[in-house]
Amino acid sequence: MHPEIAKEAVFAVEINIDRLQEIKTGKPKYKEISKFPSIKKDLAIVVDKEIESLEVAKVIKKACGSNLINVEVFDVYEGKGIESSKKSIAYSLTFSSQDKTLTDDEINPLLDKAVSAVQKEFNASLRDF
């Protein structure tokens, strides 16, 4: 692209598909999409500023088990209402089962377990709103 036309940097990539197919290993793996609806829950955790959100997410995943299919950070907050040495990380948790529709009675104990694990691992707390 001519520099007079491009407003920002332009990059190009060439991928040799034949070479990629030569180095692939094993059979492709997939997981069937559940026929049952997923359930989303939000969780806001207050931790020390130096703790990374990915580390907290790993503890949440481990505590919740296989019915937790996705953990995403949707907000990191520092400011009014939070100690200056802390930050609040808000996660969106997606739960699903291949066998049935999960209920709050099944998910809430998993959330409690996740909160306990994060509290123990990082000396964290739930954020009060």
Per-residue pLDDT of the chain (129 residues; tens, 9 = 90+): 666 777 777 778 888 888 877 776 677 777 788 899 999 999 999 999 999 999 999 999 999 999 999 999 999 999 999 999 999 999 999 999 999 999 999 999 999 999 999 999 999 999 876
Backbone φ and ψ of 68, nearest 5°: -90, 110
User: What's the one-letter identity of residue 122?
Assistant: F
CATH number of 32-126: 3.30.70.380
The DSSP code for 101 is: -
On the CB side of 6, how many CA atoms lie within 13 Å of its CA? Answer: 7
For 65, left (φ over 0), alpha (ψ -120 to 50), or beta?
left
